Amino acid sequence: MIAPKVLIVGGGIGGLTAAIALRAHGAGVDLIERDPNWTVYGVGIIQQSNVVRAMAQLGLLDDYLSAGFGFDHVDIFTPTGEHVAQAPTPKLVAGYPANIGIGRPALHKVLGDRAIGAGANVRLGVTAEALEDDGQGVSVRFSDGSSGRYDVVVGADGLYSSTRSMIFPADTLEPSFTGQAVWRYNFQRPDDIQTLHIYNGPVGVGLVPLSASLMYMYVTTPEPGNPRYPREGLAEAMRKKLDCAPPRIAALAEQITDDAAVVYKPLETLFVEGPWHRSRVVLLGDAVHGTTPHLGQGAGMAIEDAIVLADELARAPSPEAAFQAYRDRRFERCRYIVQSSLAICRGQLGEGPLVDQASATRGMFEVVAQPI
């Protein structure tokens, strides 16, 4: 069966991918997004070979690649800047790069254009205020006073999912702060930054190519007590986090001058061990498995979720059967990513063994190379 009418709550990466995948199977799709401007922050994202494969499955590969920067391995450095390893990464689509660095706005445009072009009805500035699931369908009341009736509702509304809280109101499913945060900033890309560069250490640093002219830096830092930094002075705060950085990173740090261009995010994690659905309402992406970015797979897991969910809805005899099969296919893979990423985080914080980034990266690629 394929649910003939689906509501997707959340217009981010997972929600848009679900809209594309469900439309490919013939479902009618309404997608609501609470942000009336549908904006995303302007730094980048790393996506590996499993996402390249997923984009090929969705028929998006050429548009996707043209919006980003492809590369085939990862270069790993010590905290002092010594190059110690080059980790090759598996190509899962012949003739295409193994990995992509892409700006979030560029990825959002690729997915959004395709979802709308495929016939998804997108409504901005709207939330789902109430879900009434009678087992035969879901009646939804929206924040703009309208209502609708759906065969299936998909909650793709992130780490603090309102959909999750509506279907599991008695459970304490809240994200937990890891003790670490990530800082991000865009730079002009030098010619020699052709791959992901990872610098190990208590303060983890990475340089990610995004296009012919652009790259971004991420910096993971200990943040005891989960402090909140005011916007004014944010660039200076980020520079101070790089006081002991190797020479190349220190030179880049001098260019961090625009408070408004700094993206700061406390790192939180969540993994739902129990069901990922209730009756005709199902969750995907960060709503069920929010991960830290240490393995670069948060968005990749949401994209894979969306494809698998649409696949199971197309083949299963009922939504309940589809949702159980979807969770069965996704559970161990997503748990591995969440736990392995968190282990790297804890090692950097001194709360566990220091994880060798090269080994962790190789292990991750072996896992995600497996079929979804």
For the domain that residue 16 is a member of, what is the CATH number? Answer: 3.50.50.60
pLDDT, position 362? 86
Q: Could you tell me if 167 and 253 are in contact, meaning their C-beta atoms sit under 8 angstroms apart?
A: no
Start-to-end Cα distance in the chain: 20
Contact predicate 73/87, CB 8 Å: yes
Read off the pLDDT of residues 84-137 as tens digits, 9 standing for 90 and up: 988 888 899 999 999 999 999 999 999 999 999 999 999 999 999 999 999 999
Residue 321 lies in a domain: yes
Q: What is the 3-state secondary structure (H, E, C) of 189-202?
A: CCCCCCCEEEECCC
Q: Which region holds residue 170: left if phi is over 0, alpha if psi is between -120 and 50, else beta?
A: alpha
**159 assigned to some structural domain:** yes
Residues of the chain with pLDDT under 50: none
pTM above 0.75, yes or no: yes
pLDDT digit string, tens, across residues 269-322: 999 999 999 999 999 999 999 999 999 999 999 999 999 999 999 999 999 999
d(CA 48, CA 353): 26
Count of Cβ atoms closer than 10 Å to residue 109 Cβ: 14
Q: At 14, is the secondary structure helix, strand, or coil?
A: helix
HSE-up of 98 (CA within 13 Å, CB side)? 16
Q: What is the pLDDT of residue 295?
A: 92
Q: What's the number of domains the chain is made of?
A: 1
Is 340 a domain residue? Answer: yes
Does residue 229 lie within any of the structural domains?
Answer: no
Is 294 part of any domain?
Answer: yes
Residue 291 lies in a domain: yes
pLDDT at 87: 82
135, part of any domain: yes
Q: Which two tokens stand for residue 356?
A: 């060798």
Residue 1 confidence (pLDDT): 64
Pairing state between β 121-124 and 28-33? parallel
In a domain, 144, yes or no: yes
What is the span of the domain harbouring residue 114? Answer: 5-47+104-174+269-368
Determine the Cα–Cα distance for residues 45 and 224; give it in Å rounded to an integer. 25
